[in-house]
Amino acid sequence: MGMTSAQKSGFGATLWDWLTTVDHKKIGILYLAGGGFFFLLGGLEAVIIRIQLISPENNFISAGLYNEMITMHGTTMIFLAAMPILLGLMNFIMPLQIGARDVAFPFLNSLGFWLFLFGGLLLNLSWFTGAPDAGWTNYAPLSIQSPGHGIDFYIMGLQLSGAGTLMGGINFIVTIVLMRAPGMTYMRMPLFTWTTFVASILILFAFPALTVGLFLMMFDRMFGSAFFDAALGGNAIIWQHLFWIFGHPEVYILILPVFGVFSEVFPTFAKKRLFGYTAMVFATFLIAFLGFMVWAHHMFTVGLGPVANSIFAVATMAIAVPTGIKIFNWLFTLWGGSIKINTAMLWSLAFIPSFTIGGMTGVMLASAVADYQYHDTYFVIGHFHYVIVGGTVFGILAGLHYWWPKMFGRYLHEGLGQLSFWTFFVGFHLTFFIQHFLGLMGMPRRYWVFLENQGLDTGNLISTIGAFFMSFGVIVFLINIIYTTIKGKKASGDAWGSGRTLEWAISSPPVHYNFKQLPLVRGLDPLWIEKTEGNKKVTPAEPLDEIHMPNGSILPFIMTIGFTIASYGFIYQTESKYWLIAVYAGMAIALISMLIRSLKDDHGHHISKEELERVGD
Amino acid sequence: MRGWMGKTKVFFVFTLLALFLAGCGIENLTALKPKGYGAEQAMDLIILTTLIMTGVFIVVMVIYVITLVRFRRKKGQEDHIPEQVEGNHKLEVIWTVIPIILVLIIAVPTVLATFDLADDSSADELINVNVKGNQYWWHFEYPGEEVQTSQDLYIPTGERVYLHMLSSDVIHSFWVPSISGKMDVNAENVNTMYIEAYEEGVYWGKCAELCGPSHSLMDFKVIAVSPEEYEQWVDDMQNIDAEAEPETADAQEGQELFEANNCMNCHATDAAASGIEAGPENNGPFGPNLSNFGDRSNVAGVLEHNEENLVDWLMDPESIKPGNQMTGQYPELNQDEAESIAAYLLQLQPSEITPENAGD
C-alpha cells in the first residue's frame, strides 16, 4: 500500500486504496462524493414535497409519507449533504492552505468519514420500513410517540454520523494549531482556514448537546426511561433546548466555511487582497460566539416568558452586526479591483444579495412579537432557505468551481457552469421568495395539504415551478462534472493565474505528500507575495529531505461496520432480544479493531530523497 | 454585465407580478391585514423591520451594482494589478456603529411589545377560556361561564380574552393569524396568551406545530361577535335542555343510534363545563363537544358544513383526517345509519348566535 497505488491498477486495488486511504485529499473527495449523493437524495425529496404542494388538497403522496419526506429532506440536507460537502472542501483545501502534508490525525479522519457515510446510509435504510416522521427537529413528545422504528433510525443514524463530524472538528482544530508551515502565523492564515478553524470549534461545543439529546431520546424510546414524558414527570421542552443549543450553532457551522470560500474567491478574481482581514477574522469569532447565545429564538412561542424572549431577541439581532461587517468588507474587496466574472464568481456574487435578504429576514424574525406570526410558517422556510441555499449551497458551488481544477486537475466547463448557475439562481428565488408571503398569508410549515379558497394557490404553484428550475440547474451541474471528468480542460498549478494562497503553489491535482519541501510563509497571501517579487515558486523552509507519511488502514472501515451493526441491533432489540446479538457482535468488531489499532505499532512510511528528486517539480 | 442586468429585471418584474396576483391573502386568514391586537402589534414590528432592512438592502445593492459596473475587468486590462488595499479603519467603524443603532431601533419596540403581549395582570376580571389541543381538534371551556364547546371559539369583539392552553397529547400551536400571533400548546405547562378581535368576523385558526399526519387539517375558527351576541350565546349554551327530543323521526332515530354506538363515551351533547383539565394524564373529553354541532362552521374543521360531508366523515373519518383518534372506536355504520346520526347532530342548534352572526 501507499505511494505506488496512485498508478494505474485494477478495480480491486483501486477500491482497496479508497477504503483504506488516510490521505486528506482522498478523504475530502470521498466526503464530496458521499455528500453529493445525499444532496441528490435530499433534492429528490424536496421535489416530491413541492409536487405535493403544487395545488390545493393534492393527493400526490399520503399524509404519513409526506411527514417522512419533510423529515428526511431536512435531516439529509443538513447532516448528510451540506455539512459533509463542507467537510470535504475543508479536508482537501485547508491542509494545503497552511502548508501541511496531511491533517493531524489521518486515521481519525478516515474513521470520521466512514462513520458519516454509514450513519447516513443507516438513516436512509429506514425508507424500507418507515422513515422518521417528526420533522428534522424531532420534537418530543411527537417523536416519542411515533410508531415503528423511523425515529430509532434517526437517533442511531445521526449518532453515528455526528460522532464522525465531531472527530472531523477535533482533527481540524489540532491540525490548524499544530501543523502550520514555518512563518504561517495565525494572522497570516487564509480566511477559509480561519473559518474552518472556527466552524470546528463550533462543532466541538455544539455536537455534544445533540449527542446528549439523542442518547436521552434513545433511552426513552428503547429502554423505558421518561426524560421527555410529561406524564411520568419528564419534560419535552428539554429536547427543544438541547436540540437548539446544538441546532443554532449548527447553522453557523454551515455558513462560516462558505464565508471563508467567498473570502478566497473574491480576492482571486478581483486581483485584490481581502479588505479588512483583521475585521473579517474577528467578525467570524463574534458570529461564532453569539451563535451559542441565541438558541431560544427558535422557541419564542414555547412560552418561555417575556424576559427570556426579550434577551434572546436582542442577542439575535446583535448577530446582524458582525454579519454586516463581512458583507461590506467583501463589497470593498471588490471595489477598486479588476473583477473577472466566471462561474465561481457568479455563485459568489449571487450570494451577496441572496444572503443579505436571508439576513434581513433573520433580523425580522429576531423581533419576538413579529416572530409570533412568522414562527413555524413558510416565512421561516423562506428565511432559512435564503440563508442555507443562498449562503451555504451557493458557497459550496462557488468553492467547487473554484477549487475543482486544484482537486481534479481540470476546469469545470464554463458554459455549462453558467447555464446551471442561471437556472438554479432564478429557480431559487422563484421557489423561496414567495414563501415569505405564503407564511404571512397563513400557511404554516409542514403542511401536507393547504386547503382550497385560502388564497395560497398561486404562491405555491410559483414555488413549485421554481423547484423545477433548481432541479434543472442541478442536473446540468452533474452533466458538467461528467463532461469535465472526460474532456475537461487541464489546469496548471496556479489554475486561475491570480491565486494568492499556498494551495495554488503546488501542482493540480497535488501529489499525495502535497509539498516536496514545506513552504516558508512570509506574509498574508504567500503565493501572491512571491509572485509580486518575481519568484516562480514559494521559498522553501527546509532542504529537500525524505518525507514521513502515514500508512493507510482498513481498520476505520471495519470499526464503522461494527458500529453500524450494533446500531442496527439497538434499533430492533426492542422487538426481540435476539437482536442484542447484533449489538454485542457489532461492538466486539469495533472494540477489537480499536485494540488492534492500539497494540499494533504503525510508524508510517518514508518517501526517500532520491524518489523526490526523480519526480522533479 | 448587460445580460446579467436584463435577466434580473425580468426576474423582478415577474416576482412583482406574482405578488400582485397573489395579493395579501384571504381576509379571514392573512396576518398582513390585522384584525386584532396581537396581529396589529406584530404587523407594526413587521413593517418597522421591513423598512429598516430594506434600507440596508438598498445600500448594499447600490454599492454592489456600482462596483460591478465600474470595476469589471475590461479587455486589455488583463495584466492590470489593482492597488492592494489592506482595509479602512474609518469605514469599519461606520459599518459597525450604524447597524448597532439600527438594531437598537428595532430592539426597543420589540422588547416593549413582548412584555405587553405577556401581560396577564388583569386576566381575573376578563373572559378566560381553557384551551385544550388534541390530535386533531380543539376544545374550549369557559370556566367563568360553566360552558364548553369545541372547534369554534366564540369571543366578544373589543375585549381581551385570556386563553390558558394545554395539550392532551403532543405539542400543538394555537394560531389565528388575522387577530394574533401564535403560542405553543404544551403537555406539561399551561401557556397563557390573550386575543382581542377588533371587528366581528370568523377568523381561521391553524395548528402551527407539527403534530402528526393530519397536522395540516387541524383547523379551527374564532368567531368574534358583538358583546351582546356573545352574552346571548353564553346564555343559550348554559340553558341547553339535554333531555330534549329531536323533532323529526330521522333525527330521533339518529339519537338512538348515537347512544347505541357509544358515541357518548367520547362526545358530550350538553355544554355544561366538566371542569376537567387537559395535560399529560388525559382524562377527557376524548372527542369534540357536540352540543352546538348544528352551528359549526365546518365538519371536522376542514370540510364544508353539510350533511353529505358529515355522512362521509362518520362512515370513514380516516379518509378525511389520517391518524385521527375516532377511526375504529365505534361499529361500522351503513349509509342509512350515518344519515340518521347526521340528521340528529345537525339539528343540535341551541343558540341563535352562529357563525353567520359574525358575518360569515
CB contact under 8 A, A310 and B111: yes
Judged against a pLDDT cut of 50, whether residue A470 lies above it is answered with yes
pLDDT tens column, A492-538: 999 999 999 999 999 999 999 999 999 999 999 999 999 999 998 89
Q: Is the pLDDT of residue B279 over 90?
A: no
Question: Is residue B289 a contact partner of residue B141, using CB atoms and an 8 Å limit?
Answer: no
User: pLDDT-derived band of residue B270, with 50, 70 and 90 as boundaries?
Assistant: confident
Q: Is residue A596 part of a domain?
A: yes
Average pLDDT estimate for B26-31: 93
Q: Which amino acid is at A453?
A: N
- CB-based contact (8 Å) between B32 and chain A? yes
Q: Is the pLDDT of residue A429 over 60?
A: yes
CB contact under 8 A, B280 and A442: no
CB contacts of B92 in chain A (<8 Å) are: 276, 279, 325, 329
Q: Is residue B7 part of a domain?
A: no
Q: Distance between CA A343 and CA A337 in Å, rounded?
A: 18
A16 grid coordinates: 482497496
CATH number of the domain bearing residue B297 = 2.60.40.420
pLDDT of residue A387: 97
C-alpha distances in angstroms, A580 versus A126, A172, A217, A234, A587?
19, 36, 19, 27, 11
Q: What is the predicted pLDDT for the residue at B9?
A: 65
pLDDT in tens, A46-62: 999 999 999 999 999 99
B2 pLDDT more than 60: no
pTM for the structure as a whole = 0.94
Give per-residue pLDDT as tens, B76-119: 888 899 999 999 999 999 999 999 999 999 999 999 999 999 99
What are the tens digits of pLDDT across the range B283-307?
778 899 999 999 999 999 999 999 9
pLDDT value of residue A3: 44
State the ipTM, two decimals: 0.93
What are the Cα distances from residue B274, in Å, to A534, B64, B222, B283, B284?
89, 64, 22, 11, 9
* pLDDT attached to residue A615: 77
| Beta-carbon separation of A339 and B67 below 8 A | yes
Query: Which pLDDT belongs to residue A332?
Result: 97
Residue A553 has a pLDDT of 96
**Pairwise CB contact (< 8 Å): A372 & B212:** no
Is residue A500 within 8 A of residue A525, CB to CB? The reply is yes
A454 touches chain B (CB under 8 A): yes
Tell whether A212 is within 8 A of chain B (Cβ): no
CA distances from B279 to A239, B190, B246, B276 (A): 18, 9, 35, 10
**Would the pLDDT of A133 be above 90?**
yes
Q: A472 pLDDT exceeds 80?
A: yes
Distance from CA of A389 to the nearest CA of B (A): 18
Per-residue pLDDT, B271: 84
Are A393 and A357 contacting, i.e. CB atoms less than 8 angstroms apart? no
To the nearest whole percent, how much of chain B has pLDDT over 90? 78
Q: Is A485 on the interface with B (CB under 8 A)?
A: no
> What is the total count of domains within chain A?
1
**Which of chain B's residues have a Cβ under 8 Å away from the Cβ of A63?**
213-214, 216, 322-323
Residue A475 pLDDT > 50: yes
Taking CA–CA distances from B173, the nearest residue in chain A reads A301
Chain A CB within 8 Å of residue B55 CB:
no
| Mean pLDDT, rounded, for A191-204 | 98
- Residue A577 domain boundaries: 554-601
* Structural domains counted in chain B: 1
B318, part of any domain = yes
Q: Do B150 and B159 meet the contact criterion of CB atoms below 8 Å apart?
A: no
**Segment 502-541 of chain A within 8 Å of chain B by CB:** 532
> So what's the pLDDT on residue B7?
63
DSSP assigned state of A82: I
Note whether residue B173 is domain-resident. no
In this model, does residue B21 exceed pLDDT 60?
no
* Residues within 8 A of B (CB atoms), A 322-341 only: 324-325, 327-329, 331-332, 334-341
C-alpha cell at A161: 454520523
Residues belonging to chain A: 617
Contacts of B278 in chain A (CB under 8 A): none
DSSP A152-182: HHHHHHHHHHHHHHHHHHHHHHHHHHH-PPT
Taking the CA of residue B103 and the nearest CA in chain A, the distance in Å comes to 6
Measured between CA atoms, how close is B280 to chain A, in angstroms? 5
Q: Which of A22, A15, A50 is nearest to A460 (CA)?
A: A50
What angle is formed at CA A380 by the lines to CA A378 and CA A386, rounded to 5 degrees?
105
Is position A591 within any domain? yes
Instruction: Give the residue-averaged pLDDT of A461-489.
Output: 97
Tell me whether residues B42 and A373 touch, CB distance under 8 A.
Answer: yes
Contact in structure between B127 and B162 (CB atoms under 8 Å) = yes
Instruction: Give the tens place of pLDDT for each residue, A236-267.
Output: 999 999 999 999 999 999 999 999 999 999 99
- Residue A389 DSSP symbol: I
- Rounded to an integer, the average pLDDT of A183-196 is 97
Confidence of residue A1 (pLDDT cuts 50, 70, 90): very low
pLDDT attached to residue A4: 45
pLDDT of residue B56: 96
Q: A248, B60 in Cβ contact below 8 A?
A: no
**Mean per-residue pLDDT of chain A:** 96
**Which residue carries 482581514 as its cell?**
A277
Cβ neighbors of B346 (< 8 A, separation 6 or more) are B293, B294, B307, B310
Nearest residue in chain A measured CA to CA from B79: A338
Q: Which residues of chain B have a CB within 8 Å of the CB of A532?
A: 81
| Strands of B147-150's sheet in order across | B147-150, B137-142, B127-134, B161-167, B191-195
Residue B322 lies in a domain: yes
In a domain, A471, yes or no: no
**What pLDDT score does A8 carry?**
58
What strands, in cross-sheet order, belong to the sheet with B172-176? B152-156, B220-225, B201-207, B172-176, B180-185
* Residue span of the structural domain in which B272 resides: 249-358
Across the A:B interface, residue pairs with CB atoms under 8 Å apart total: 322
Residue B286 lies in a domain: yes
Domain membership flag for residue A475: no
